[in-house]
Structure formats: C-alpha cells, structure tokens
C-alpha cells in the first residue's frame, strides 16, 4: 500500500532533490539512447563497450564545457575568471569525486542487479549467428 503524500509534507529541499534527480535521469536516459546500436549496423561496427566509452567521453566533455560556461557567468571578464581558476577547478573536481565515489560504491553493492543485462548483451555480441533460426 502506498502512502499519499500531501503537498504540504514536501519540503523545498525535497522538491529541489526531486528536480535534481529528474534532470540527472534525463541525461542518463539520453546517454543510454546514444549507447543503443543503430539499426542495420554490421558485425564490424563498434562493440557495445566501445560505444559506451565513446558516450562516456562525450558526456565528460559536455559536462566540462557546460560547467565552464556556468562558472564564466559568475565573472565580469576573462582576467577575473582566470584568477579564480584554481578555486573553481577545486570545487568542481571535489563535487565530481564525491558523486563518483558514491555511485561507484553503490554499483559495487548492487553489481549483480545493475549489470544483469550483460549476460544477454554478451550472448548476442559474441555468438556466431546462424540466421536460419528464430530468436
């Protein structure tokens, strides 16, 4: 049985956290879409782990680019921004490290649940297919 939550029970912090995770989930969904094989790709195309690596690199670049833009909006000119570089870098790297550590630990704990799809993926990507049978 689910408990009904009244709007008055939701704090501003709860609402902000919900928006935060909704946004993060949308970025992850988009990344997952980029990881899906394109219909009609041949067996010589990039393997799933290669595609995930490419998507990961693109996300890291996009995150770096966006965070640099966000930081730039806090300064009046390039000299002021340059002077704050160490402080900005330290903050962003610290936040990323904390988030990465939390997620890494969670994946270690939930490894079998989170990566159960691999069995099916490995079967289909490593199997020599006889196209005369049905899947």
3-state secondary structure of 70: helix
pLDDT at 8: 59
Q: How far is residue 112's CA from residue 116's CA, in Å, rounded to a whole number? A: 6
Region for 134 from its dihedrals, namely left if φ exceeds 0, alpha if ψ lies in -120 to 50, beta otherwise: beta
Q: Where are the alpha helices (DSSP H) in 73-135?
A: 78-83, 85-109, 111-114, 117-126
Domain boundaries in the chain? 24-35+46-126
The structure's pTM equals 0.72
Mean pLDDT by 10 residues, the chain (135 residues): 55 86 96 86 75 96 97 98 98 96 95 81 49 40
Q: How far is residue 106's CA from residue 114's CA, in Å, rounded to a whole number? A: 10
pLDDT at 48: 87
| CA distances, 47 to each of 41, 70, 125 (Å) | 10, 34, 8
Fold of 24-35+46-126: Helix Hairpins (1.10.287)
Q: How far is residue 101's CA from residue 40's CA, in Å, rounded to a whole number? A: 38
Q: How far is CA 112 from the centre of its chain?
A: 19
pLDDT at 133: 40
pLDDT at 129: 41
Q: How far is residue 59's CA from residue 56's CA, in Å, rounded to a whole number? A: 5
Q: How far is residue 118's CA from residue 27's CA, in Å, rounded to a whole number? A: 21
């Amino acid at each position: 049985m689910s408990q009904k939550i009244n709007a008055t029970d939701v704090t501003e912090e709860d609402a902000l956290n919900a928006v935060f995770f909704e946004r993060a989930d949308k970025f992850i969904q988009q990344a997952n879409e980029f990881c899906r094989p394109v219909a009609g790709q041949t067996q010589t195309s990039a393997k799933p782990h290669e595609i995930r690596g490419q998507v990961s690199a693109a996300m890291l670049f996009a995150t770096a680019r966006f965070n640099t833009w966000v930081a730039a909006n806090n300064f009046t000119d390039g000299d002021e921004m340059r002077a704050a570089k160490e402080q900005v870098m330290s903050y962003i790297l610290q936040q990323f490290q904390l988030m990465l550590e939390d997620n890494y630990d969670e994946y270690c704990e939930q490894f079998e649940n989170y990566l159960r799809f691999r069995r099916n993926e490995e079967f289909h990507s490593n199997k020599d297919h006889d196209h005369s049978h049905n899947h």
